[in-house]
Chain A
Amino acid sequence: DAGITQSPRYKITETGRQVTLMCHQTWSHSYMFWYRQDLGHGLRLIYYSAAADITDKGEVPDGYVVSRSKTENFPLTLESATRSQTSVYFCASSRDRGFEQYFGPGTRLTVT
């Protein structure tokens, strides 16, 4: 029972490069979310998806792109990474709206 997985777990990239963070869940949950976690800011929502091919912006979407062609996958792409995007990124899924979220282990991204 894999649940929800993220890859890579750690990533170092240079400013200006494109990088994609992967998220995969095995529960067929409808909702999926991307958060970034920085000291002093808690968890901030970047994008979320209610179903395949349905995505919407969260609190801090600038500089990020998402897609959801399949229910189980929700990749997050940084089109041109900046140092301010250095953070820990968590993916989460939820059975339906208003239900509890299950978080992946996180990806620690460093942009140099």
Chain B
Amino acid sequence: SQKIEQNSEALNIQEGKTATLTCNYTNYSPAYLQWYRQDPGRGPVFLLLIRENEKEKRKERLKVTFDTTLKQSLFHITASQPADSATYLCAPGGHGSSNTGKLIFGQGTTLQVKP
């Protein structure tokens, strides 16, 4: 069955450093991969979508890579700030021609940025 793995341990970094979060998937060939941010008690908020034919995508301080050979996506936050502290969810999606938009989420990685 499809499996999505993210770092289960919390990631603690110092303000100003770059945070790198990993998402690995198996038994799956997604057409795209989305990253979401989730704060406690709230629903996830969309950050970035990267398609299988894209290697890298950037948005302000965020950068996502997508390696379909390694079956891995890396999510980077540069110049991190305490306000970036949250849980980050990886969600591959798309199943060939039957694309329903259904997302399979990883368990999330909690990022803590210390001032």
**Binding between chains A and B:** no
Binding site for A on B (CB under 8 A): none
Q: Enumerate chain A interface residues (CB-CB to B < 8 A).
A: none
